[in-house]
Amino acid sequence: MRILVSGGLGFIGSHTVVELLNHNHDVVIIDNLYNSQISTLHKIERIAGKRPAFYEMDATSFEALEDVFQRYDFDGIIHFAGYKAVGESVRKPLEYYYNNLVSTINLAKLAIINKVPKFIFSSSATVYGDGVSPFNEKMKLLDRTNPYGETKAMSERILIDTVKANLGFNVVLLRYFNPIGAHPSGLIGEVPNGIPNNLMPYVTQVAKGLREKLNVFGNDYDTVDGTGVRDYIHVVDLAQGHVAALEAKIEGVEAINLGTGKGTSVLEIIQAFEKANGIKIPYEIIARRAGDIAVSYADTTKAKNLLKWEAKLNIMDMVRDAWNFEKNLE
């Protein structure tokens, strides 16, 4: 199949492109390089032995996207392009609503016009709001605790309604939890611009000496050690989940969790990193971060049944691969 991947040079997008190429799919990437690097394109080619087509553009530009759709006939779209930091979304809600919703609307509209039958959407566990874990896909979605999560829930709603109105347009809403780790080659991984918003790149930057210490947001949650608990999933497992969703015979729309089904606290992640890599991570407990919830982990039953997919890599694999990438990063 020929697949359009928006945001294909980002953290999750680049790993998914590698897996798509490994499964002999043709890939066309669009990316505006807002939170990614052009060097990732060359690294993808080194890993997979194939070079995907690439266009630098913003998915909020309908005209730019339209030009790509005129060049190629696509069998599927995987939509990653979007702003993704919870804390930043609280500070910049308008930017998040505009970028994340307009990009989804543009790609869905062009998929309908060009009769692209498969659309895989990069959603998030944040759509569940401040509910009770384990989260499963039948649960009523509660109010989101931040604009980022709201953009994902609204994008889901847009795509669900679009499916209802357009026979033959099939959508998988992949609600994934907390991707960490890196490709085992050490060539691609998470490279945030500026101060990391996610836990693992902050940990690896502290380990490398780029930052003095890790800030842990709150230790008074009702969890095993007071710190937030998340369902961390290896980015390679996650990428393979996207390929499974693309290749599955799904009609209409399905929401599917991608996670491990297990929760790990922030302090447990730090301890695992120290054990796997032999490096001490200094940290400081500070106030809770706006928009965070105490516990979030997945019910993964549906992914196993519908996609025949489940995560295979564990926390030690994740922290080892994340450090392997960071220590080789120039």
| Model confidence pLDDT, tens digit, residues 245-282 | 999 999 999 999 999 999 999 999 999 999 999 999 99
How does the average pLDDT of the chain come out, rounded?
95
Does 176 qualify as catalytic in the annotation? no
pLDDT of 269 reads: 98
Catalytic residue, chosen from 96, 128, 148, 202, is 148
Q: Which residue has the tokens 């930052």?
A: 211
Question: Which three-class secondary structure state does DSSP give residue 328?
Answer: coil
Query: Lowest mean pLDDT: which of 117-121, 139-143, 187-191?
Result: 139-143
Average pLDDT over residues 301-319: 97
In the chain, the percentage of residues whose pLDDT exceeds 90 is 88
Question: Does a structural domain hold residue 92?
Answer: yes
Which of 165, 69, 163, 79 shows the shortest CA–CA distance to 117? 163
Asked whether 268 and 47 are in contact (CB, 8 A), the reply is no
pLDDT of 114 reads: 98
196: confidence class by pLDDT, cuts 50, 70, 90: confident
Q: Is the pLDDT of residue 38 over 90?
A: yes
Question: Does a structural domain hold residue 31?
Answer: yes
- CATH classification of the domain holding 97: 3.40.50.720
Question: Does a structural domain hold residue 246?
Answer: yes
Q: Is the pLDDT of residue 148 over 80?
A: yes
- How many domains in the chain? 1
CA distances from 294 to 132, 139, 161, 231 (A): 10, 18, 32, 12
pLDDT tens per residue across span 11-29: 999 999 999 999 999 999 9
Question: Does a structural domain hold residue 221?
Answer: no
Question: Does a structural domain hold residue 318?
Answer: no
Asked whether 313 and 236 are in contact (CB, 8 A), the reply is yes
Average pLDDT over residues 171-189: 97
Secondary-structure percent of the chain, ordered helix, strand, coil, rounded to 5 = 40, 20, 40
Question: Does a structural domain hold residue 198?
Answer: no
Domain of 69 in residue numbering reads as 2-180+232-259
CA distances from 90 to 83, 94, 256, 317 (A): 12, 10, 26, 32
35: confidence class by pLDDT, cuts 50, 70, 90: confident
Other CB atoms closer than 10 Å to residue 195's CB: what's the count?
Answer: 10
Question: Does a structural domain hold residue 203?
Answer: no
Question: Does a structural domain hold residue 218?
Answer: no
Q: Is the pLDDT of residue 193 over 80?
A: no
Question: Which three-class secondary structure state does DSSP give residue 156?
Answer: helix
Residue type, 103: S
Write out the DSSP string of 249-312. Answer: ---SEEEEEES-S--EEHHHHHHHHHHHH-----EEEEPPPTT--SEE-B--HHIIIII-----
